[in-house]
Structure 1
């Protein structure tokens, strides 16, 4: 009886954690705790926890807690997102190339415009100009969480648009880091990771060795977990941001069940990992990444062109780049907006993409590591811009959510 009751409780908790709303609340709670902790009299203990390092030095994995979370634990979330996108590309909204093209182009425009705005603010200052990549990135975890909380009645196509845009945005930001902010890129481990990803994809196809593995009594995790860890280690060793390993493996998941299977591996793994992603990965990530200490007060931010460029880039540049780029693309190409969406929805979602956080903070560290004062201002600028983007986006999306809720209620009553 006890075992049955405990199992039922676990299933109930897991079902709750699969909700984007619950996961979003946990994520935002983690961020709030981090901010309060970092700016409290006990802020030194927060920094000590983030900076505590452990892991094997022999394979260059003696990392800080912050790095383990941002590079390692967050890869689980990116795997879940990549897996979800694969389902959309094969079975969902994005199987239509004309609709898939739009968020991809929007992501590229949403990277270029903020970088240009930042550069305009800092063109005369070479020291600050190196931070042009800071406002390019969208924090997919926070953006999806806010959308889930405020937009329960918004069309699912808007979430798919945001996921696709944010993934392309993150991939672009990772390329920017690798090319412009990385001292060296090691190709041997990158090639090794590509080879193991090919093995991962082959095992998903269900032929030959893969078919025997799927038909055997051996649990699949015995093969896939070490393989996934090896891919992650090699990607990390290459100098590329290691979360790309999670995206790549997610996109390789098989979404169609084979003969004798009740469901495809893609859906089975999503069901297993989603509660862990929402209930553990994202809150811990927020706790470790959102603790930005405000030094010198807010007034100093508005006197530094680095923080001003970040604010304008994330808040204005993202909105103009994504919404404007999307609109122009539909006018000049065969790309089309989903019939379930309006352009007001896209504007609200574009504002939401101004939430920078993770990758923006990472590029900030890389840009101004030798300039502590600029670094502090730039970090605070990312935080303030993310807050402003959230408030603006919520003000638009909440109205749209009410509109769609009313429309659905009218349709149900008729």
Structure 2
């Protein structure tokens, strides 16, 4: 069976009967169609203020993104034997992208990130928006907000736009046209996915700049914040929509969890070594924020006394510059932390691929899932 490695900027892969590029386009039709219907429903002058929020969500959706979670959902449905009209499944897939947008917006606020997908993050956009940070008062006076006041207002507004994406992701699920049995089947998986993401994000925030976080804890954070939410739950939701059994759902985890961990481990490397022109993100932020990743945990574990002093002095420094970051990168290589993480990615990839072969999936769906796993673990962005 022919296989094609996905590039960093596309998931346009055709394998067997599954054309992932066309599937992505169909998912986007549902996503943008939902947002457009929301815009057209605005009639009251006050409600019409939501139009600006919709614009921001459309811009974020249109700025790129692999649509990995929606694609896994649809491919899971196909792999588990889903047949017939897939319009409701595509709506569920689109709802997962809305949920992802909520997570990205909130994550960027918490991390004070400056860029996302090569553009200013939503809260930075809002901080620079003259209409937003120049509010009208009860009189004719207009006061220009500056500095911390403007940032606080922008962060608050960005959080609310993220909340809107979360609420609308649920609305899209309930307006999808699914049969009641299908809704009952996916509800526990959706609930678990949301809880796991929140727990992972909580652990990630708590562990920031904690130099005592070990590899096991870093992997646990990655598993909850990214692995389950990115790979396992979207796949299981698709399988459940096709009527997959509890046994099949459990078997999906044998494929999804190692691939999900590999996805996050790759993200950890890209966060420090990636090309910003390709990733769309600064490679200083993870180091400045003191992200408790497996990469850093391994470096600290394997460093000698002098290396550890340098790492602890640089890691989590909000004023870290390019020269200091370059020094950290050299130490991550010298301590063999990068080499070890690459081996962890390979081991998890191989484990996931073996589990995929053992799943009772249709051949075309299995091939598409394999390509999506390649996209998740061997990417450049």
Q: TM-score, normalised by structure 1?
A: 0.25
As a proportion of its length, which structure holds more helix?
A: 1
Q: TM-score, normalised by structure 2?
A: 0.26
Greater relative CO, 1 or 2 (CA 8 Å, sep 6+): 1
